[in-house]
Every structure is written in C-alpha cells, then in structure tokens.
A and B are shown apart, each in its own frame.
Chain A
Amino acid sequence: MFNALRTEQLIAGIGSVGRAAATASGPPDEYARGQLLSAYSVSRLLAAEVSAEADLLGWLRGELSAALAEHPEDPAAAAALPQIESATESGAIGDALVDLLADLRTREDGGSDLRRRLHGILREMAERELIALAARPEGAKR
C-alpha cells in the first residue's frame, strides 16, 4: 500500500540487474552478488504483492468507506468518502487519508472517534500487508 515504485518499474529493475550480470567480465564481486540476491528478493516479494494486491486494496477501501459512512455529518469525512470509494490504487486512498487526518488533527478533540477508527484500520492494513508479503508465491520452490 502507498507504494512509491510501480510494478513495471520493479520488473524492469530486476531485468537490469540480470543484464548487468550477463554482460560483466570476470566473476562477480561482493557488490554484484549482493545486487543479484536483492533482485531475487524483489522478484519474490513482488510476486507475493501482486497476488494479494487486489484483495488488500478492496479490504482497505471497504473498511475505510464503512468508517466514513458512519460520519455523514462530518464535511471532511464526507469529502473523503467518494475519493476512497472510487480509488483504483492505494495512492489515491493515501492522498485522501492524509488530507482527512490533517483536518481531524485540527479539531479540539483531535477528531478522536473517527481518527481512532482510521488508526485501527491503518494498523490492520500494515499487518495484513506483512502477512501477504511473507506468503510464498504459488509455484515458488524457495
């Protein structure tokens, strides 16, 4: 969630490391070996992420939408709700949440109830994402 590099950028990066290894002269030094192992790690993590991405995004959108729908009188929540409901990627959800949470922080009570609820959803999001990334991609032997 809220990822800075897109899937296609990562795939291209993995390919670049492979190409550099294939065209290098002589055996790889410690740095080159580290690059290859990191590329392997990225490929595994990316496979796990891609497998889980749609479900995780759907879960996050659903939880946030339900939480915001309980505060129809709150203008900031009401403004964020359609942005989150229509989001097709996590970046748009992140943008909406950052604005909403910043607004809630300015309230006298710190936007306590809704803010706490959002915090709980974000905590669970991180935990779910970790579980997803730790899963062994189907077909991967190692």
Chain B
Amino acid sequence: MSEIDPARAAAALETLRSVDAAGSRAEVVGLTQMEGGWSRHTYAIDVEDPDREGLARYIGRVRPDDSVLDTDLGQEFEIYRILEDEPVPAPRVYGYEPSEDTPFGGPYFLMERISGEGLNVWRRPDRELLEADWAGGRGIAEDFVDGMAAIHQVDPAKLSGVVVERDFRATVARWRDIYEDVRLVSDPVVEEAYAWLLDNPPAPVTPRLVHGDYRIGNCLVDGGHMTGVLDWELAFIGDPRFDLGYMSLPYSAGRFVSPDTQSPLTGAVADRDWLDRRYEAATGEPVDRAVVDQYAALGALMLFSIMGTGLTLYAAGESTDIRAAWSRFVFPGLRADLAALMGW
C-alpha cells in the first residue's frame, strides 16, 4: 500500500466535514491514485470515523493542470447532484472544492465509491465477461441500454444553467475548433469527415441530456448488473443520438489496431439490432441507423480532438502521462472507422 499523503488526506477530510459527511475524529486510512482518467485524476479514499458506522469509501475526482480537456469540474459535480433525484444510476457526491491550489493539484470533488468495477474493453477478460453476460442473463446489457434511455429521459429543464445546450452544428464546431487549436499535423481524413458532416446535417430532434462519453468503460459493473454511470464531464443538452453513435464505434467495442481485440458485440455489450429495439422500447424514439452513424463519425472526431489535446500537451512537456503518447496509435483505427462510416 502506498503511503498516504497527509496534505491530501487533510483536504479530503475538510471537504467531507464541510458537508457533514465526516466527524471531528474521522481519519483517512487509505488514499491511492487510480489508473483511469484522461482529463481527471481519480483517487480512492477510505475514511474511518469512530462516530459513524463502518468504513466510508470515496472517490476523489480531480481536474489537474494537464487535463486533456478544459471542462468544468463544477458542472460535473452539479450533474451528479441533480442525478441523485433521477432514475439514473450514479454515485452521490460530497462536497466540491473549486480552488486551483489544492494538495490534489487542482479543483476536486468527492463522491461515494459505489460497488462495481470499471471494465476495460481493451482487455480480453473484461470482453469475455461481457460476452458471457450477453450469452447468459443479459443483466449488464439490459442495464446499459436502460441507463442510456434513462439519461435521455431526464427533463432538460432540470439542468438549465448547469449543462450547455448544443445542436448538431454547435457540437461539430466544438470539436472542430479544438482539433484546429491542437493539431500538430494536418489530417486529410479528419478534415474530409468534418466537411461530410456539415454537408449532411441530420434533421433535429427534441434536445435531451446527452452523456457525451457513454460506453461500458465509463460504467461500473457488479454481480451481473450495471451499478453506476460515471464520467459526466462531456455531458450536454443536445441530440441523444450522439450517445448511440459514439457507443457504436468499433473503438467502444475494444478495437485498437487488431480486429482480434474487438468484441463482436456493439459497445462490447450487445447485438446492435437488439440494442436498437430495446432503446426504442424504452424511449419510444425510433433509431435511425444512418443518423446514428453520422454521430458515430462525430464521436470519432471527438476522440481525435481529445487525444490530440493530450498529444499536444505531451509534446509541449506539459503532461507526463504516457497514455497521451499511446493514444497516437488509436488514430489509424479511427481513420478506418471514419472511412467506413463515410462510405469510402
């Protein structure tokens, strides 16, 4: 077990006490940085409080200086808070510290560490677990689709002033602007894809809450069911078909450089037709596969922008996260996906 950083432990306790989630005798008994997180650092924090029952387990979400995206941690905190009253499985949050100058290296909030593991679809055992679920009880597959449907049925008015609204063109513009800001080289496939999207805008639908990064890797799974949806930093009010498209990318099913690593299941979770039918039944909204494919292309372009930001920070020496360099090898697969989606 790594040593507990006393400054971080003290900061976490102060935050918990500010929302009456810890007493004066509470003590941090575990504090380790977890593996995940591209634009957030994540810490597992265990607290023992003699005045309360049992070990309290928390997650610290930190927006570090070298975050690959300039997203608002306060917005993410507020979304979690609002979701506490919605039928969307998500952890409860406990206090937000907006200061840039914290022992965690940036603003942070704490949330409950709910049961479950995050699955990594680029690892064979996790893909096999999902394939067994699909072949068996389908508890994870059903929860995954139902969770997305529940997100899309949250009343957007409840998120007014918290979550930005973006229509199709604004969403394209957001990711294109970032691509143009951070690109280190010109990419003809990416530029053609943006032109293709702008030439073929889908007919608009009623704006809904969109998770923006909905894939099984951003959910927790325990005992054959999904226990929580995490990583809300890219959420916006807009076309819910974005989530369907992004989730359908081969990347979301584990494709990296070899087709051997890609699950045969959409999103590594379910057969695509089944997934579409269940979503339609849950929302009453028909799934237009052609439009979903357009949003899949936009999802791929979003990944170019996010990973491109990481590469730029890494190249400039502003990040030491080697995963930013690793992401350079994701791009050939995304180019192949874009070429297929555009019918090249």
Contacts and interface: CB of A to CB of B under 8 A. Distances in A.
Contacts of B336: 123, 126-127, 130
**Which label, helix, strand, loop or mixed, suits the secondary structure of the A interface?**
helix
B315 interface: yes
A46 B342 CA distance: 29
Contacts of B41: 31
A4 interface: yes
A3 B185 contact: yes
Interface size range on B against A: 35 or more
Which among B188, B192, B329 has the highest number of chain A CB atoms within 10 Å? B188
B185 A2 contact: yes
Contacts of A39: 322
Nearest to A127: B336
A91 B328 contact: no
Given A101-B188, A126-B189, A130-B333, A4 B257 contact: no
A2 B187 contact: yes
A98 B186 contact: yes
A94 B188 contact: yes
A1 interface: yes
Given A1-B332, A5-B311, A126-B339, A38 B322 contact: yes
**Which label, helix, strand, loop or mixed, suits the secondary structure of the B interface?**
helix
A133 B332 contact: yes
A123 B339 contact: yes
Contacts of B34: 30-31
Given A30-B33, A98-B186, A122-B188, A133 B257 contact: yes
Contacts, number: 132
A86 B84 CA distance: 60
Interface string B17-47: 0000000000000001111000001000000
A129 B326 contact: no
Which among A1, A5, A41 has the highest number of chain B CB atoms within 10 Å? A5
Contacts of A3: 185, 328, 331
A87 interface: no
Contacts of B344: 119-120, 122-123
Contacts of A49: 329
Contacts of A78: none
B335 A4 contact: no
B285 interface: no
Interface in A30-66: 30-31, 33-35, 38-39, 41-42, 45, 49
A9 B326 CA distance: 12
B339 A5 contact: no
Interface string B311-344: 1101100001111011011011101100110101
A130 B257 contact: yes
B99 interface: no
Contact of B195 (A26, A29, A97, A105): A105
Contacts of A118: 188
B206 interface: no
Contacts of B183: 4
Contact of A5 (B1, B189, B315): B315
B101 interface: no
A17 B329 CA distance: 18
- A-B residue pairs, 3 tightest by C-beta: A134-B258, A123-B339, A34-B35
Given A38-B326, A49-B329, 12 more contacts: A4-B312, A34-B323, A38-B325, A41-B326, A98-B186, A101-B191, A101-B192, A118-B188, A119-B339, A122-B339, A123-B340, A126-B189
12 contacts: A3-B328, A4-B312, A27-B2, A29-B32, A33-B35, A45-B329, A49-B329, A101-B192, A122-B188, A123-B340, A126-B339, A130-B257
